[in-house]
Structure 1
């Protein structure tokens, strides 16, 4: 835990008692603050009370007594309209902040030079965060990893000299962190997302920009328009990262270029991702190039960097290689809940035996039509089967399987009969899971179980 001492002896309102909210309340209490916590869910209030956190109805509270309102990042700050606590705080002149802001203030107070690597972007945040943490650990660093990737930032050990915090940040978290100033700030990419919470694409991009604007060193992916403009506006030290097409002529650039799995700085090879299954595809080449730029500032270079990249296991449910039987590779990409995510997987493989379906998102799989030539056969599951069959008709042979167990067996048999050098059974549903599973994690876990049962029985 990181005790929050910057509010010692003061009263702090807190709304949202989920995982990060409860961790924040405990950290504030440990640092000597008086916490007045609230949640719309009575069960969450009861869990907090059981851990000794004082709960109140903030509608009835005296807001003139509060030094700050700490808001859970899942609670609306501006759109579609501010949460009622935000209105009360602003009327009383009380600052509205989040748990990452508390961490930043604690770091500034107790260990301002402690390394702090912050990662954001529309896509690839979790993989890049995990990869950076892995590279640093392999090099012997004391690493604390958390934030949006899973562990609440205040549940981590406190900042100190020689300890590196590697933190994934969503736009919601950045919006609640006015003093964000990491030693390395990473912006991977920006595409439309969460506009219901930020209002416009311009506002969404402006929030993302704040992460790199205050960083000592910024690392920016420049393959989309908004990110490229942010890199151009940046005045401080900046490493630009570009993923080049396979036939693109390389010209000297200020930063790193990844092409066909090789990361270069000018004419020098920084790292070679060839044969690293956990870092397949152009999107992962960007993730790895950005990670390399970050860890080089902490002394991880050369053979040490290359060896650590090769030992990266990847993340569950994100193009996770779960098994291999002869030439057949089984890949769990259950995290791909929309067409944009599935595009990354289809681009990374050929001769794909594609398991897809579930609760469809707007647009379905129509954006993936240009990649259908990579698909040998599609196996449809769930509620989206009719709509997806209509898109596949005449372009990709398909089988209606209804359930994941039927689809996995059919895809495994189809792949085993293929003459291709490396047929791939790919679960990349391009759909939410909620028609048949409680989460994409449950769906991916079930696929992994099915594959492990099937593999010994395949020819």
Structure 2
């Protein structure tokens, strides 16, 4: 845990008692703060009380005594309208912050030179965060990984000399971190996302830009117009990442097939044969990890070996093994067409399990990749709409459930004459029609694959 010593003796209002909220309360209390917490959910309030946390309705509190409102990242700050606690805090002139801001203040007080790698982007940030942390650990560094991936930041060990924090950040978290100034800031890419929470694409991009604006080193993918403009505004030191065949900008590190080269042609890494890093999008992720590792003094054989040993991220193009010639891949984390596009680009002869609670636009944006699909197996609430999109373009079977789809796809792929048929779960949909979340969906697929006859 990181005790919030910079808030010692202060009275803090906190709203949101989920996992990160509870971790934040524990951090504040350990640092000597006086915390008054609330959540609109009664079960969350009861759980907090059971842990000895002081819970009281912040509508009835005296806001003049609060030094800050700590807001959970999922609570609306601006759109579609500010949460009621935000309005109360602003009326009282109380600062509104999140748990990342508390960490940043602790780092500034305890170990301002401790390496802090902050990673964001619309897609790929979880894989990039996990890969970067893996590379640094394999090189012998003391690494703490968390934030929007896995562990709440204040549950990690505190900043210290020689300890590296590799932190994934969402826009919600960035928006609550006014003093964000990582030693390395990473911005991967920008496509429309969470606009219901940010209003416009321009506002969304402006929030993401904060990760690199005050970073010691900025690492920026330049293959979309928004990121290219941000890179142009950012002064040195910066590293621009370009994937050949994408976008119009050049880069300081260039992904060419499976190679990662410097602009002068020097080969820094080769991803050939690394199953966990298939596809151009993973080339970008790996190039970022290379840039961060080099900034922290890691390169050469140490870097190459670390990339090769990366096991991949669960539910994101996760190789589940083979049954004969058939490769099974769990990409349950692909909850929209943009994410599924990356998986379809990585394979051919695809037996595609797709469907769930559809996002706006459905799977029509993937039509240029339909020729890679041998057969589609439709599941969930989107089945009828997706069948209409695929009609006459891709053979499909309406399976309704993941169980039926997995069994049917496995049999069809095994009977295929293709040299390496792939059964790919990449739903391009949210899971909420049949599963609580994408993790449960992916875990179920993994179990179904493991139960198939060898």
TM tier relative to shorter chain: over 0.9
1:34 is matched with which residue?
34
Partner of 2:319: 321
What residue number does 1:292 align with? 290
CA shift, 1:397, in A, is 1.2
CA contact (8 A) 2:70 2:98 kept: yes
CA distances 1:85-108 after superposition (whole Å, capped 9, x unpaired): 111111111100000000000000
The answer to whether the Cα contact below 8 Å between 2:242 and 2:251 also exists between their aligned partners in 1 is no
2:261 corresponds, among 243, 260, 264, to 264
Single out whichever of 337-346 and 185-194 deviates more from structure 2.
337-346
Within 5 Å, give how 1:35-184 maps onto structure 2: 35-184=35-184
Give yes or no for contact 1:133–1:145 (8 Å, CA) kept in 2.
yes
For 1:181, what is the secondary structure of its paired residue?
coil
RMSD: 1.4
Aligned mates of 2:46, 2:196 — CA distance in 1: 31
Q: Work out the CA distance in 2 between the residues paired with 1:236 and 1:97.
A: 29
Q: Deviations over 1:319-363 (max 9, x none)?
A: 100011222100011111111111111110000011111222221
Question: Please, which moves more after superposition, 394-403 or 371-380?
Answer: 394-403
Give the aligned partner of residue 306 of structure 1: 304
Name stretches of at least 5 consecutive residues in structure 1 with no aligned partner: none
2:222 and 2:251 in contact (8 A); partners too: no
Q: Show CA shifts across 1:152-183 (max 9, x none).
A: 00000000001000000000000000000000
Match of 2:351 among 350, 353, 357: 353
1:236 CA drift (Å): 3.3
**Secondary structure of 2:167's aligned partner:** strand
- Aligned to 2:431, which of 430, 433, 441? 433
Return the match for 1:404 from 402, 405, 412: 402
Moved more, 45-54 or 308-317: 45-54
SS of the equivalent of 2:242 reads strand
**Pick from 383, 389, 394: which aligns with 1:391?**
389
Shift of 1:375: 0.5
Task: Tell me by how many angstroms 1:254 deviates.
Answer: 5.1
Give, in whole Å, the separation in 2 of the partners of 1:373 and 1:85: 51
The aligned length equals 453
**Preserved contact between residue 187 and residue 221 of structure 2 (Cα < 8 Å):** yes
Q: Which residue does the alignment assign to 1:418?
A: 416
SS at match of 2:58: coil
Distance 1:260 1:239 in 2: 19
Greater mean deviation of Cα atoms: 108-117 or 389-398: 389-398
Provide the rounded CA distance (Å) in 2 between the counterparts of 1:358 and 1:311. Answer: 33
**Structure 1 runs of 4+ with >3 Å offset:** none
* Gapped regions of structure 2 (runs ≥ 5): none
Query: Where does residue 360 of structure 2 map in the other structure?
Result: 362
Separation in structure 1 between the aligned mates of residue 223 and residue 97 of structure 2, nearest angstrom: 32
Q: Is the 8 A contact 1:216 1:236 kept in 2?
A: no
| Distance verdict in 2 for CA 1:455–1:282, change over 3 Å | farther
